[in-house]
Amino acid sequence: MLSGGSRDRKPSFSNLGKYAMFWTATPAPEIPGGYYQVDFGFMRDAVNVSTGDGDWSFAIRCVRD
């Protein structure tokens, strides 16, 4: 898996080659327009799930049930 990093609303890219960040299809009710995100990378020993601002750009992977 390539680590695509993220892009903020400026738009500036960050963490390229360091972290893989993905949006989920699940809205985060505590952040208007936000979603849950999943990320992992070179300095983490686990997958991190958190909420994120929907204005940021992360990779999207489509998974079919």
| pLDDT tens track for 5-37 | 778 778 788 877 777 888 888 888 888 888 888
Structure confidence at residue 2 (pLDDT): 63
Say which residue, 24 or 61, is predicted with more confidence.
24
Contact between 53 and 39 (Cβ < 8 Å):
no
Which of 20-39 are b and which e, b meaning 16 or more Cβ less than 10 Å from the residue's Cβ?
bbbbeeeebeeeeebbbbbb
Taking 80 as the threshold, does the pLDDT of residue 58 lie above it? no
Each domain of the chain, given as residue ranges in start order, spans: 6-52
Distance CA 44, CA 34 (A): 23
